[in-house]
Amino acid sequence: MKAHLLTALCLLTLTDTAVAIESGASSATQKQTEAWLELQASGKVASTIPQPQAPVERDQSMQRWLNNYQHPIPEFFEQKKGGTVSGGSGAN
């Protein structure tokens, strides 16, 4: 019973912490990044000059896209084969 009460108390304190985080940009750099991303997504400052793609460029980009499908998709990722993860709070 005490363990359940302690767990519930810990969970309540965690939710208070999560609610205390302010929404929106947390720094000037983040605000500037979000402003640039908004401009890019909206197209407000897009170039009025058309930038056509040459046939050679189109063929090369299509070939690069098709080459992505030459590698099989593994059923699961094996951390030992992929390397190590540094930092964070998880176990390696």
> What is residue 26's predicted lDDT score, i.e. its pLDDT?
76
Percentage above 90 pLDDT, the chain = 29
Average pLDDT over residues 19-42: 81
pLDDT over 60 at 6, yes or no: yes
Amino acid identity, residue 68? N
Q: Find the distance separating the first CA and the last CA of the chain, reported in whole Å.
A: 34
* Pairs from 75-78 (Cβ < 8 Å, separation ≥ 24): none
Please report the pLDDT score of residue 92 as a whole number. 45
Could you tell me the pTM of the whole model? Answer: 0.34
Which has more confidence, 91 or 73? 73
Helices (H), 1-92: 2-20, 28-42, 55-67, 79-82
* Mean pLDDT calculated for residue range 34-59: 92
